[in-house]
Amino acid sequence: MTPFWIALQFLTTFPVRLSAMPTPQQNAQALLFYPVVGLLIGSILYGIALLLHALPVVLLSSVILVLWIWLTGGLHLDGLADTADAWVGGFGDKARTLAIMKDPSCGPIGVLSLVIVCLLKWSVLYVLLQKQLYTALMLFPLLGRLVPLFFFLSTDYVREKGLGSQLGQHLARPIAIALLLLTSLVALYWAWVGVVVLASFYLALWYLRCKFIQRIGGVTGDTIGASIEIIELATLLSFVFAVFYLA
């Protein structure tokens, strides 16, 4: 169970304490439990939505969004801000882009990216809750935590001394591929709406992968974190659009 606790400690703010320093193999195995943690986050959001369904939707959507951010400690939002700053400030240069990502300060582009993503997420959550599509709240954190599996299976990690380089080396690829493909099929529970979400999920992932390779030759922890936020937002938006046009 150690890999699960590693995943839970890294991806959430739950007070998890490990008895010993994880090995590279255990850190890689933890990637396989990321979707489980995503489902746990989504289940909590779903439970809170059911519990507080009597609240005005405008307030409930704010509560759900804040809880979502709190459960993850804003980890992926930090990656989004760093990536946005680096993408604009890097001027297309790999070394400069990577250097800006390591800078802990957040520039105006990073702040703007956070505002845009959170505003769009809140708006989509408002629509979902207004239509009482509470079960859908379980889907998006789950799909978001499949993002690291996709990148470590398909893309080089550009920082040689980073934790990610070890994860890619020790990842059980056949199991990871099966987990990625089969878990994403959960979206088909929502029929044609799920088909649209699934298509958006893989198209957005492939687009991000192409952009990361083009700019920096692969991925970093920040770009993976940014991708989790972007994929959550993309699948949220595609779900709502499909509900209005297909359902």
Region 66-87 average pLDDT: 95
Q: Please state, rounded to an integer, the average pLDDT across all residues of the chain.
A: 93
User: Could you tell me what percent of the chain has a pLDDT over 90?
Assistant: 80
pLDDT of 245 reads 93
Q: Which residues of 81-119 are buried (b: 16+ CB within 10 A; e: fewer)?
A: bbbbbbbbbbeeeeeebbebbeeeeebebbeebbeebbe
Q: From residue 69, give the alpha-carbon distance in Å to each of 4, 65, 115.
A: 21, 6, 13
**What's the rounded mean pLDDT across residues 215-234?**
96
The pTM score is 0.96
| Domain total of the chain | 1
Q: What is the pLDDT of residues 169-193, one digit of tens each?
A: 888 999 999 999 999 999 999 999 9
Dump pLDDT digits (tens) for 31-45: 999 999 999 999 999
Domain that holds residue 67: 2-245
